Amino acid sequence: MSISEKATLSNIKSNIKTDVKTSNGMIRPGSFRVVAGPCTVESHEQFAASAKAVKQAGYEYIRGGAFKPRTSPYSFQGLGEEGLTILSDVSKNLGLKAVTEILDPGDIELVMEHAQILQIGTRNMANFALLKRVGAAIARTDHGVILKRGFSATVEEWLLAAEYITNAGGDNVVLCERGIRTFETSTRFTLDLSAVIVAKRLTDLPVIVDPSHAAGRRDLVIPLSKASVAAEADGLIVESHHEPQEALCDAEQALPIEALLSLREVLQPFASAMGREVI
């Protein structure tokens, strides 16, 4: 990394102020934000049932993918525009804000009509054309972006990717650590909690954790969520499903409704120790 790039990174720390990073209300000082919901919008019935549980658990943000970046072209690719319509209908009905992934720069306006927060996935972290287009599109709007860390990206590469968005005018960027590729095979990826702490030292951008994709198995999601609170994360994005075994995508890592309903109670003592409230 060049010296000028280092200077840019330190500028993020000094220039991005609290009011910028909280202007769309997603991340608030003193709070620990939980975003929950299914990996993918599969049908109206499935998304409505999963969304009801998110609402019942008291969370304000729901996730659900309509455009899915699948490793195999033969896997379910998401419902596309139909999925976006289900996402916005159901979330608006329940008074929830929606988070969904954007894959194609040509879909940005469409996705913004249906969702408050655009997610840029791990496989697109270095898609600089997409980052710039999203940054320009969300500038001076209430929309935000969750930028996942590439699973083989260094922290510096991740922060510089965020700067493509902020330099294009998009201030509401939330970084998300979602696990990296290592030699370990007992988990799907390896959750790099040190990266959360390092990123928070280098920037003022909020950092959340995705324990679901990191672990790839539901039994680790709650322990890793507790660890994320202790690692100074600003929140979580977790996968949940009303019938986890039946999920069309990422079935092994989805939390069932009972676990989602207990998550707040489980996390609050840890959050209190860090001076935060789970929201």
Place of tokens 């030699």: 183
Q: Considering only CA atoms, which of 55, 57, 74, 54 is closest in space to residue 248?
A: 74
Q: Which does 29 bind (CB under 5 to 8 A by kind): ligand PEP, Mn ion, none?
A: none
To the nearest whole angstrom, how small is the minimum distance from the Cβ of residue 249 to ligand PEP?
Answer: 7
Residue 109, Cβ neighbours under 10 Å: how many? 9
Q: Which does 244 bind (CB under 5 to 8 A by kind): ligand PEP, Mn ion, none?
A: none
Q: Considering only CA atoms, which of 62, 30, 58 is closest in space to residue 46?
A: 62
- 3-class secondary-structure state, position 213: helix
Determine contact, residues 113/92, Cβ cutoff 8 Å.
no
To the nearest whole angstrom, how small is the minimum distance from the Cβ of residue 65 to ligand PEP?
Answer: 5
Residue 251 has which token pair?
């079935």
Binding mask 109-138 for ligand PEP (x = CB under 6 A): ------------xxx---------------
Going through 39-177 in order, the beta strands assigned E by DSSP cover: 61-63, 97-101, 117-120, 144-148, 173-177
Identified binder of ligand PEP from the candidate list 97, 213, 242, 276, rule CB under 6 A: 213
Considering the rule CB under 5 A, would residue 101 count as an interface residue with Mn ion? no
Residues 245-274 close enough to bind Mn ion by CB under 5 A = 250
# residues contacting ligand PEP (CB under 6 A): 10
To the nearest whole angstrom, how small is the minimum distance from the Cβ of residue 40 to ligand PEP?
Answer: 7
Stretch that binds Mn ion, among 31-39, 96-104, 108-116, 171-179 (CB under 5 A): 31-39
Nearer to ligand PEP, 16 or 248 (CB): 248
Residue 263 has which token pair?
């998550």
CA angle, 24 then 111 then 261, to 5°? 60
Interacting residues with Mn ion (CB under 5 A): 39, 250
Interacting residues with ligand PEP (CB under 6 A): 39, 65, 69, 121-123, 148, 178, 210, 213
